[in-house]
Amino acid sequence: MQSLFYIVFLCFGMVSLLLPSSVVAMPHIISAEPSNMVAGSEVSIAGSGFGAIQGSSEVVADYGKGLLYVLKPVEWHDRRIKLKVPDLGRNLRLKLRVYSKHQYSNIVSITIKPDIKPSRQSNLQKTHMLSVGDKGEDIFRISNSPAVCGKVGTVFDHAEIKFNQKRFADAQFIALPKKGCSRCGDIHVRWYNEPTGKLAYRVNIFQRRIEGVCPQRIRHR
């Protein structure tokens, strides 16, 4: 009977040595809300196993075309993380993962809407009303603020012509910069006004606000 006790005790001890002393919970995301938001707004990630403090843990966003980027948290708790999601001028549909305890969580997707605003650039108005009629081409230059690491800048998104006067006259774009450019080419507008015609218009430029990429926040697969 005593021999049997020693055998059972020995086996139990061996099993105990083989089992880990504590089970490490893998990070798991339940939801990311809101899942559709304006760039720069806060998103709340709910789940478990994130860790009570951030430490070396991080949230990684896949912006597409191989860009994996670490997002800065506003709050970090074991079951909830809050952070702001910037527009980097890449994809607007992102995949988020939490990296904690040397493990990656499952993936959740969110969509950000670009923050597009009219430019405050001046000198974008033209008037043509020569009594005998005329035609020609106007050129407008675009001014953007460069986006540097962690700072918001602007890129060209689109443009439109707003007419103040248009009598026997017209104007239209014949050349526009590439969408998303920071160092852009000029805008070219071809116009005409017939005799007694009047033309007065303004070019409205719309810019997309993006955040500059920081190399130290880029991750590799």
The pLDDT tens digits for 197-208 are 999 999 999 999
Domain count, the chain: 2
Together in a domain, 98 and 175: no
pLDDT at 125: 94
* 119 within 8 A of 170, measured Cβ to Cβ: no
Asked whether the predicted pLDDT for residue 11 surpasses 50, the reply is no
Together in a domain, 138 and 187: yes
Together in a domain, 36 and 68: yes
Q: How confident is the model at residue 70 (pLDDT cuts 50, 70, 90)?
A: very high
Asked whether the predicted pLDDT for residue 181 surpasses 90, the reply is yes
Together in a domain, 104 and 56: yes
**Residues facing residue 203 across a β-bridge:** 161
Asked whether the predicted pLDDT for residue 121 surpasses 80, the reply is yes
Q: Is residue 21 situated within a structural domain?
A: no
Q: How confident is the model at residue 25 (pLDDT cuts 50, 70, 90)?
A: confident
Using the Cα atoms of residue 92, residue 37, residue 158 and residue 144 in order, give the sign of their dihedral.
negative
167 vs 20, residue with greater confidence: 167
Together in a domain, 120 and 202: yes
- Give the domain extent around 61: 27-113
Q: Is residue 84 situated within a structural domain?
A: yes
Q: Is residue 16 situated within a structural domain?
A: no
Together in a domain, 194 and 151: yes
- DSSP for 85-133, please give it: ----SS-SEEEEEEEETTEE---EEEEEE-EEEE------EEEE--TT-
Q: Is residue 169 situated within a structural domain?
A: yes
